[in-house]
Amino acid sequence: MKATGELIERSVLIPPTGLEGNLVIPEKATAVIAFAHGSGSSRHSPRNQYVARVLQQGGLATLLFDLLTADEERIDVRTAHLRFDIALLARRLSEATAWLKKDADTRNLLVGYFGASTGAAAALVAAARRPEDVFAVVSRGGRPDLAGASLPSVKASTLLIVGGEDTPVIDMNQDAFRQLHMEEKKLEIVPGATHLFEEPGTLEKVAALARDWFQRELRYLQGR
């Protein structure tokens, strides 16, 4: 563990499979956001790392971790099937949540999820399974449709962010949005953005939307 300014940074191993992760906790953080990366990605995703930095600057702790073991990643490189195993990915995210609720540095923090691509489906399934532990979910270019029958059971406030040029995924998100029954939900379409939000200014917009969503929900919960 190392302290950098007002941040605590730790490399962690998440049980029971020893998944590798990076935990960053700003001073006075009241929530930690666990990232569920997308197809063929990892905790090293530059897009998720950028979003994590913006969240940290907004006073939110972040956990970026690998949802697959090293052996599973090698298999997935060849077959590309584990990245679509939503049940497996959701179970790994749920295990990470259980670990966060026990770890000395994070057990008093609320837990939120940031999911990308297939990771968004895993985040919604895990949130449906842990309604008392997860306060909010944000999806970036996600496949929430893959959460299937879990969608109506999600209680956490949910923001779906989609690129305006990502037409097939817009349709998938609109369909999933209609199946979400929580009180606080929103579908945000970022003009001019494609699936990976590589266009100038679009990833910055995603990060700001995610930060504001988590912060707004925290203010609401703390004000009750």
Task: Please say whether the beta carbons of 221 and 110 come within 8 A.
Answer: yes
Identify which of 173, 35, 51 has the alpha carbon closest to the alpha carbon of residue 116: 35
Q: CA-to-CA distance for 142 and 123, rounded, in angstroms?
A: 10
Fold for the domain defined by 2-223? Rossmann fold (3.40.50)
C-alpha distances out from residue 8 to 4, 20, 27, 35, 60, Å: 6, 17, 8, 18, 12
At 132 the pLDDT is 95
Task: Please say whether the beta carbons of 157 and 182 come within 8 A.
Answer: yes
In the chain, what are the domain boundaries? 2-223
At 93 the pLDDT is 96
> Bridge partners of 20?
13
Q: Which residue has the tokens 């897009």?
A: 47
Q: What is the pTM of this model?
A: 0.93
Q: CA-to-CA distance for 220 and 224, rounded, in angstroms?
A: 6
Query: pLDDT per position in the chain (224 positions), as tens?
Result: 555 567 899 999 999 999 999 999 999 999 999 999 865 556 778 889 999 999 999 999 999 999 888 777 777 677 666 667 899 999 999 999 999 999 999 999 999 999 999 999 999 999 999 999 999 999 999 999 999 999 999 999 999 999 999 999 999 999 999 999 999 999 999 999 999 999 999 999 999 999 999 999 999 998 76
